[in-house]
Amino acid sequence: MGKAQKYVLLGDATYPLQDWILKPYQEDETLSQRQLQFNYRLKRAHSVIENAFLRLKARWQILLKCDDCSLELLPTLVLACCILHNVCEAHDSPFNQEWLEGTEPTELPKPCQPAPTAMEDGRAEQVRELMCQYFESCGEG
pLDDT digits (tens, 9 = 90+) for 66-117: 566 777 887 888 889 999 988 998 999 988 888 888 676 555 555 566 666 6
Domain boundaries, given as residue ranges, for the chain:
40-93
Whole-Å CA distances, 47 to 11, 20, 37, 58, 105: 12, 19, 15, 16, 11
Could you give the CA distance from residue 99 to residue 62 in angstroms, rounded to a whole number? 12
pLDDT at 110: 55
At 39, the pLDDT band (50, 70, 90 cuts) reads: very high
Instruction: Name residue 9's beta-bridge partners.
Output: 21
What is the per-residue pLDDT for 41?
A: 92
DSSP 8-class letter at 82: H
